[in-house]
Structure 1
Amino acid sequence: MEENSSVCVSIITPSFNQGEYLEETIQSVLNQSYSNIEYLLIDGGSKDNSVDIIKKYENRIDYWISEPDKGQADAINKGLKRANGDLVCWVNSDDILYPDYIAKRVQQFKENPNAGMIYGDIEKGPDPSIRRLRKGRQTSIKRMLKYAECPIPQQSAMWRHNVIEKIGYLVPSWHVVLDREYFIRIAANCSIKYVPGPVAFFRTHERTKSVAEKLKWAEELPKYYEMVFNENIYHLSPNLLSYKNRCLSKVYLRCARISAKAGKKRDAEDFFTQSKRSSFCNYILDRYL
């Protein structure tokens, strides 16, 4: 793959108090089979042993900083603003890139010159020895809005630097929908391409599976999709805006399930009512308009 080594790839790792996993993440970046990599590590002022781990590898890290930030999206944005690569991605500080990930993506972008973003599959589990496949699939802005879907595993996604110049940075106020929002924004402005095959490992642990984390989805998902349609933040066509009720019905139903599993009965009932209301509006539109 080194015939493509003129292409520089910027990899950003946002991190905060992830010393337990950070070294494995760093090693997965530094041990890539592709050599022309710019590595930026943005630490949020960790109080554990993270900085000691970073210093162990600092001669191979192009840029790192440890200072308080406003959350993951803010940390990623710091990296994006410093990134000089032709291609860009981020890997969280508890995840792992497989050795040929960067080489594969560089070649795939060469073969797909019109693609603004390329993504694929990942594997997930509590430990790399216990993992199962999570597949992505080809999608479009139409499908993303019609079915409230985002089948783009974050760890598998890479995009061209000029995409950042076109659409900007992540929204710092989002905590769990930050990647969904960014990828849907990319799809609304650029061509995206799915290429099958696992390229990274997504680690699931207690922090990622907590009730509080799941309830955050029920808080942010409706706000996000209501902004998409009510404020038309992506300047969507009337045809895409027509999927509002169908999309919101699915979003509210998902939030009802999340709330019910968390024991939030009243919230679950409210979301279910909203889902039925949106679904009925969609039925009327489909049948009579």
Structure 2
Amino acid sequence: MSNTKIMFSIVTPTFNSEEYLEECILSIKSQSYKNLEHIIVDGGSTDGTLNIIKRYEGTYNMRWISEKDDGMYDAISKGFSMAKGDVFSWLNSDDMYMPWTCAIVAAVMKATDIQWCTGIPCHYNPEGISHNVPRITPVYPQSYIRKGYMDGRVATFVQQESMFWKKELWIKSGYVLSEYKMAGDYHLWREFAKDNRLVVLDSIISGFRIHEGQKSSDRDKYYSEIGELTLIRKILAKTKIVSVACLIESIFTHSLRIRTKKFLK
């Protein structure tokens, strides 16, 4: 990949997503790095979602389909089956990229052998203002992801909206996503972590929007697909041992994070 220009395939699943979809589309359309495709997979929306999609059809490299699906992860898997890129990601319709997102990821992946990366996590409020940015660039040790500790109980979540990975990882592990309705990303990261470390770029490249009515707010259904905590995991959660270990790794371990300044012209 070192002698070619990396192409991104970004999938966005939608279903009655008119409230925030335009901001999502514009955040991809306005990327400073242009070698990308945006694949929108709609589940048969009945609100203004399709009107928004059609408004931007032909204005950038976006294609879309609208048909009944078996939930968000089925739609995402369908989108990646259409993808032509080298690096994959998905961005939910209520989230946004920063203008420099793909440029930074492309620069790092072109110059290294990194297979899987993310950025500094943050949240958006309903108006799209970012907040809750950690003071220290967090890292996520490969063994902790593989063991399933990063579930929001034992330790923090690994946020999906900033995640980018090589196509080869999806070919090997992507099948797991459509087996779930709520926690597909958690299980996908565990599959990725069997053979690959997650590297964190020291830049905010996306954010998770918190608002009323979002799918991810149903924690009971989410955890039903992960399983109840074992006694050992309950102890780990109560004592916060894994969270403290992650903090220590974040301060002292440099192999799991990238100083993006080195890759900027």
1:121–1:153 contact (8 Å) kept in structure 2? no
1:7 alignment partner in structure 2: 6
1:154 alignment partner in structure 2: 160
Shift of 1:145: 4.9
1:134-149 superposed matches below 5 A: 137-145=138-146, 148-149=149-150
For this pair of structures, how many residues does the alignment match?
A: 229
2:219 alignment partner in structure 1: 214
Report the CA distance shift for 1:144/1:246 in structure 2 as closer, same or farther (over 3 A). Answer: farther
1:238 alignment partner in structure 2: none
Letter in 1 for 2:76: I
1:228 alignment partner in structure 2: none
Residues of 2 paired with 1:245 and 1:215: CA distance?
19
Q: Which ranges of 4 or more aligned residues in structure 1 deviate by more than 4 Å? A: 248-251
Residues of 1 paired with 2:179 and 2:231: CA distance?
25
1:184-263 superposed matches below 5 A: 184-208=190-214, 213-222=218-227, 246-247=232-233
Residues of 2 paired with 1:183 and 1:203: CA distance?
20
Report the CA distance shift for 1:104/1:16 in structure 2 as closer, same or farther (over 3 A). Answer: same
1:180 alignment partner in structure 2: 186
1:33-72 superposed matches below 5 A: 33-59=32-58, 60-72=60-72
Shift of 1:38: 1.1
Q: TM-score, normalised by structure 2?
A: 0.77
The structure whose Rg is larger is 1
Deviations 1:51-72 (A, max 9, x none): 0110111112432001111111
Report the CA distance shift for 1:19/1:147 in structure 2 as closer, same or farther (over 3 A). Answer: closer
Q: Secondary structure at the match of 2:89?
A: strand
Q: Secondary structure at the match of 1:34?
A: coil
1:231 alignment partner in structure 2: none
Unaligned runs of 5+ in 1: 226-243, 254-289
**What is the root-mean-square deviation in Å for CA atoms of aligned residues?**
2.6
Sequence identity, in percent?
Answer: 31
> RCO (CA 8 Å, sep 6+): is it higher in 1 or 2?
2
Deviations 1:125-172 (A, max 9, x none): 232236322577322332235571255221111000111122233432
Report the CA distance shift for 1:199/1:210 in structure 2 as closer, same or farther (over 3 A). Answer: closer
Unaligned runs of 5+ in 2: 152-156, 239-265
Residues of 2 paired with 1:140 and 1:197: CA distance?
18
2:27–2:99 contact (8 Å) kept in structure 1? yes
Shift of 1:86: 0.8
Q: Structure 1 or 2: larger helix share?
A: 1
Report the CA distance shift for 1:170/1:56 in structure 2 as closer, same or farther (over 3 A). Answer: farther
Report the CA distance shift for 1:245/1:7 in structure 2 as closer, same or farther (over 3 A). Answer: same
1:73 alignment partner in structure 2: 73
Shift of 1:75: 0.6
Shift of 1:108: 1.2
Residues of 2 paired with 1:181 and 1:98: CA distance?
26
Q: Secondary structure at the match of 2:178?
A: coil
